[in-house]
Amino acid sequence: MNARPVNLLVMLLVVVVSAVGVVYSKHTGRELFIELQALANERDSMDVEWGQLQLEQGTLTTQGKVERAARNQLGMVNLAADNMVIVKP
């Protein structure tokens, strides 16, 4: 008989729950987007650092630096031809 107020109340409840769901999903989406941006910035800074490390490695492994380090730190010297022994299999 008076189903109209009950239907109206149910519809109002459905609309409110739907609105809360939309607000919650928007909030979650924004939080995830902020996290994504932070991770992208971290990735970019790591890419820059990786490039710098590759350049540093390239300069540290040049022939002259390796040879100088071998002489100074390990006491290595170039062999003269009469000091070389060639081993054949």
* Domain spans of the chain, in order of start: 3-83
The sign of the torsion formed by the CA atoms of 19, 20, 22, 23 equals positive
Quick one: pLDDT at residue 57? 87
pTM above 0.75, yes or no: no
Q: Could you report the per-residue pLDDT of 65-85, keeping only the tens digit for each? A: 888 888 899 888 888 888 888
* Measured distance CA(85)–CA(81) in Å, rounded: 9
